[in-house]
Amino acid sequence: MTMELLKQIDSPADLKKLKPEQLPQVASEMRAFIVETVSKLGGHLASSLGSADITVALHYVFDTPKDKLVWDTGHQTYGHKVLTGRREKMNTIRQFGGLSGFLKRSESPYDSFGAGHASTAISAALGMAVARDLKGDKTKVVAIVSDGCMTGGESYEGLQNAGQVQTDLIVVLNDNQMFISNRVGALGAFLSKLLTLGAVRDAEHSIKKFLARFQFWGESILRVARRAKVLLFPGMLFEEMGFSYFGPVDGHDVVQLAKVFEHVKKLKGPILVHCVTKKGKGYAPAEEDQYTWHGPGKFDVATAKFLKAPITKTPPPTYTAVFGKSVVAEAEADPRIVGITAAMPEGTGMDAFRDAFPRRYFDVGLAEEHAVTFAAGLASEGYKPVVAIYSTFLQRAYDQIEHDVCLQKLPVVLCLDRAGLVGEDGPTHHGVFDLSYLRMIPGMTVAAPADENELRHMLHTAIRFNGPIALRYPRGAGVGVTLDAELKELPIGKGVRLKDGADVTILAIGNRVHPALEAAQLLEDKGISCGVVNMRFVKPLDVELLKECAAKTPRLVTVEDNVLQGGFGSAVLEALTPGRAEVLRLGLPDSYVEHGAPNLLYDAVGLSAPKIAEKIAAWVPNKSKNLV
């Protein structure tokens, strides 16, 4: 891979030294560099390839970091990192101790606003623009938003407020015709129409020219036509919201993009530049299969074949795959079951439901709030909605869970994929708050399976439960346990004792149950008798079992992959009579956990089996000396 120009660029100031006609080569070299980097590490590929030309043009035209670039989600920003002094560190991206895969203010002054969740850029950029006005500065603020982010309600809240404020703000709509999975909804259809609006744009120009001949009523007719939507003008939606619209423009003509940006940065008021791009641009496999190459693992660049570690035995299925297969089986037996997800069918396993029951499947786009209230409406009419959303994204729908589901005691099943520490995506994607934010809501039942087999039983139970219930389970492969042939309903709010012990009992929840069993064995080997209980439910809590454990052993240890504040351990403390037992709580600290491989992260926060054993050994008096 040659980097004739890219190797000369350590900052946007270096980029500005080049002639405009050299920019296409920079974009091409940057794409090749990103492909090579991701092939060795995995990461977000297709979006960053699609936005390469926009990225080069923005840094060429605007005075960053004085001028602010505010990116939505961060999937499209690998090129931004390359051009802003982080090229030599790209071999550490998403690795433990390395560069973040998303935007991070503490990482670079060029990252003006952190980004991991969708639809935040316009609101944040408007806040920066208003702050600039209040300070009397003259800087420019640009929000770069993908079309998928426009399915999230916050984007429209930001747009309408920007149209109202009428301050100088530039929004670049990166319309790549996809957002992780296929674009859905009315806006998706609207944007798709815009892709072919060259003729419509010409028609608008001709109509304007014709009506201009009529001095008194020509403009009135044009305004009426716009408002009545007699004609589909490009950008009509945005212009009605108070924006000046430019586009659609070719998002891969970097020279033309630079000219457009040079022009619009001189204009006043809210501006929207609509750029049409192709996700995966420049790497043929990514252009052809944009979902697979959105976030691929390691691969061979020449052959586009994914690189996998040698398989010594058949790996266990992922929790996501087990969920997908299980929800399809449940829906085959019950026509009232409907499946809902928020633009993540493959990521949540809902693609299997989609393929099996297309009429009962609903992808609402990046709109988690709507997903939950939509489910509540279905439940109010006798259906059994199963809502599959990543734990970290369900945080956005907290009010809807509380107000629309739980207050009305509606039987909505919330399935929280990616609970706990998810790995390389880091703190914006770790699902480590759900036990805390869900268990405080009256009427909510919260469960966490110990393994993939228990997930099947819990889903079976949840669908038959007549009330709000949430299941949370981790990312990645299961434990490898045998899957039972027959499903059974689990008793709500009841745990199960897995191992007896005389010195201490570990009360574990979710994916920390099996590490707790391993830790117990390590302690037994060193002379500490350790019991283990799989609590299964955080709410309602099995208080009777808690009291039995407290009576049997003088010390209890709670283990969870949730923050300690308000989590499972807090629930145990609240349930126990003061002085009944000594309790050691092990969980996530009151700080954001960085990115890295999950096994490294769990060890770093003290939740791996050896670290659990080490902490318990140090806590149990007169026993720790046996551990060396």
What pLDDT sits at residue 218?
A: 47
Whole-angstrom CA distances from 372 to 26, 395, 404 are: 44, 11, 8
Provide mean pLDDT across the span 104-108.
90
309 — pLDDT class (breaks 50, 70, 90): low
Grouping H, G, I as helix, E, B as strand and the rest as coil, residue 297 is: coil
The ranges assigned to domains in the chain are 6-197+234-288, 319-472, 496-626
| pLDDT tens digits, one per residue of 3-27 | 899 999 999 999 999 999 999 999 9
Provide mean pLDDT across the span 546-571.
95
Q: Which of 154, 204, 330, 368 is catalytic?
A: 368
| Sole residue written with tokens 């009397």 | 136
Instruction: Tell which residue, 57, 235, 20, has the closest CA to residue 144.
Output: 57
Task: Kindly report which listed range (78-87, 208-217, 263-272, 418-427) carries the lowest average pLDDT score.
Answer: 208-217
Higher pLDDT, 520 or 195: 520
622 — pLDDT class (breaks 50, 70, 90): low
pTM (two decimals): 0.82
571 — pLDDT class (breaks 50, 70, 90): very high
203 — pLDDT class (breaks 50, 70, 90): very low
Give helix 153-165 / helix 121-135 axis angle, nearest 10°.
30
What pLDDT sits at residue 322?
A: 98
Provide mean pLDDT across the span 456-481.
97
Kindly provide the residue ranges of all beta strands, DSSP E only, lying in 402-554, ordered along the sequence.
Answer: 413-417, 445-447, 469-472, 496-499, 504-508, 530-534, 537-539
Do residues 144 and 172 touch, judged by C-beta distance below 8 A?
A: yes
Give 272: exposed, middle or buried? Use CB within 10 Å, 0-12, 13-18, 19+: buried
Structure tokens at 584: 């050691």
pLDDT over threshold 60, residue 198:
no
266 given a catalytic annotation: no
- Does the domain at 496-626 match CATH 3.30.470.10? Answer given as no
Share of the chain above pLDDT 70, in %: 89
Alpha helix positions (H), 431-589: 434-439, 452-464, 513-525, 543-552, 568-575
Region label for 627, one of left (φ > 0), alpha (ψ between -120 and 50) or beta (otherwise): beta
CA atoms of 309 and 312, how far apart (whole Å): 9
| pLDDT tens digits, one per residue of 408-431 | 999 999 999 999 999 888 888 999
pLDDT over threshold 90, residue 287:
no
405 — pLDDT class (breaks 50, 70, 90): very high
pLDDT over threshold 50, residue 181:
no
- Side by side, which strands form the sheet with 141-146? 68-71, 141-146, 169-175, 270-276, 244-250
CA atoms of 628 and 616, how far apart (whole Å): 13
What pLDDT sits at residue 213?
A: 43
pLDDT over threshold 90, residue 291:
no
pLDDT over threshold 90, residue 294:
no
4 phi and psi, to 5 degrees?
-55, -45
234 — pLDDT class (breaks 50, 70, 90): low
157 given a catalytic annotation: no
| End-to-end Cα separation, the chain, in angstroms | 51
Structure tokens at 260: 């457009």
In the chain, the largest separation of any two C-alpha atoms, in whole Å, equals 97
512 — pLDDT class (breaks 50, 70, 90): very high
What pLDDT sits at residue 458?
A: 98
CA atoms of 416 and 388, how far apart (whole Å): 6
262 phi and psi, to 5 degrees?
-60, -40
What pLDDT sits at residue 207?
A: 44
What pLDDT sits at residue 232?
A: 42
CA atoms of 85 and 439, how far apart (whole Å): 44
Do residues 95 and 596 touch, judged by C-beta distance below 8 A?
A: yes
Q: Which of 31, 86, 183, 279 is catalytic?
A: 279
The answer to whether domain 319-472 and domain 496-626 are alike in fold is: yes
Q: Which of 140, 396, 475, 539 is catalytic?
A: 396
Class of domain 319-472: alpha beta
312 — pLDDT class (breaks 50, 70, 90): low
Structure tokens at 178: 């996809």
| pLDDT tens digits, one per residue of 323-338 | 999 999 999 999 999 9
33 phi and psi, to 5 degrees?
-65, -40
What pLDDT sits at residue 45?
A: 82
Do residues 555 and 531 touch, judged by C-beta distance below 8 A?
A: no
547 given a catalytic annotation: no
Do residues 420 and 448 touch, judged by C-beta distance below 8 A?
A: no
115 — pLDDT class (breaks 50, 70, 90): confident
What pLDDT sits at residue 47?
A: 86
What pLDDT sits at residue 281?
A: 87
What pLDDT sits at residue 180?
A: 35
CA atoms of 536 and 398, how far apart (whole Å): 23
Give the bridge partners for 121, in sequence order: none
Average pLDDT over the chain, rounded to whole? Answer: 87
What pLDDT sits at residue 452?
A: 98
- Does the domain at 6-197+234-288 match CATH 3.40.50.970? Answer given as yes
Higher pLDDT, 204 or 46: 46
Provide mean pLDDT across the span 110-122.
86
pLDDT over threshold 80, residue 239:
yes
Do residues 613 and 522 touch, judged by C-beta distance below 8 A?
A: yes
Higher pLDDT, 153 or 162: 162
Please name the helix (run of DSSP H) or strand (run of DSSP E) that holds residue 488, with its range, or none: none
Structure tokens at 621: 């008096």
